[in-house]
Amino acid sequence: MPRMIFLEPGPRRARRARAFPHGAAIAALAIPSITLLSLATGCAKAPPPATGERPPLPVETITVTARPLARTLAAVGTIESPQTAEIAAEVAGRIVALDVPEGETIAAGRLLARLDSEQPRARVKIAKARLEDTERMVRRARQLLAARVDTQDRLDGALIARDGAKAELEDAEAALEKTEIRSPFAGRLGLRLVDLGAFVAP
């Protein structure tokens, strides 16, 4: 294998030559080359400085405010009312007015429908006339009894007729009042099963 000779100088005589392996010489020669390459690389030209400044980027800002957060829960369920009623006519008649908005909240006593009241009004008028007639009969019977012209039985009969006329008038007035169908309590209306002009009966 070839070798390189490295001589060490001495003051009086030459010393024995030392032999180094070929690889060591290569390493010794390679170090200056690497150093030179590094120096050559470090001496490269730097890039020219930027001629102008970069424009600022637009930034959008908002103001943060504190406020309560409403939490909602969507669910499907069935609502059962504590009080329900099926409203129907208590007297026979034809519906002439109907104000039943389905799903609307109403107050107690709200007028929902009105029936034809022609016949009930006629009954009230007749009952009033009969009551007035029986009251005259009672007054006349009392006068005759006081004059000892008539008997107690005649007065008793007049009183019975007057009481019957009063009951008839009260019944006619109640029937007239029932031609107006009203809400028995406050609540929400459900389904409407009749239409305007329909004939209804209890």
Confidence check: pLDDT of 180 > 70:
yes
What pLDDT is recorded for position 24? 43
Q: What's 110's DSSP letter?
A: -
Calpha distance 89→87 (Å, rounded): 7
Q: How confident is the model at residue 80 (pLDDT cuts 50, 70, 90)?
A: confident
| Residue type at 151 in one-letter notation | T
Confidence check: pLDDT of 173 > 90:
yes
pTM: predicted TM-score of the whole model, two decimal places: 0.55
pLDDT digits (tens, 9 = 90+) for 5-45: 434 444 444 444 444 444 444 444 444 444 444 444 444 45
Q: How confident is the model at residue 72 (pLDDT cuts 50, 70, 90)?
A: confident
* Average pLDDT of span 44-54: 59
Chain Cα centroid distance, residue 201: 38
Contacts of 171 (CB under 8 A, 6+ apart): 127
* Average pLDDT of span 185-195: 85
* Average pLDDT of span 184-189: 87
What pLDDT is recorded for position 8? 44
Calpha distance 19→165 (Å, rounded): 158
* Average pLDDT of span 75-84: 79
Backbone φ and ψ for 198, nearest 5 degrees, come out as -75, 150
Q: How confident is the model at residue 46 (pLDDT cuts 50, 70, 90)?
A: low
Contacts of 123 (CB under 8 A, 6+ apart): 172, 175, 176
CATH 1.10.3470 for domain 117-178: no
* Average pLDDT of span 146-161: 92
What pLDDT is recorded for position 49? 55
**Across the chain, what does the average pLDDT equal?**
79
CA dihedral 152, 157, 158, 163 (to 10 degrees): 130
CATH number for the 91-116+181-202 domain, one of 3.40.228.10, 3.40.50.720, 3.10.129.10, 2.40.50.100?
2.40.50.100
Higher pLDDT, 13 or 183: 183
Confidence check: pLDDT of 174 > 80:
yes
**CA-based radius of gyration for the chain:** 61
Range(s) for CATH 1.10.287 in the chain? 117-178
Percent of the chain topping pLDDT 70:
74
Higher pLDDT, 92 or 81: 92
Which residues pair with residue 95 across a beta bridge?
Answer: 115
What pLDDT is recorded for position 187? 86
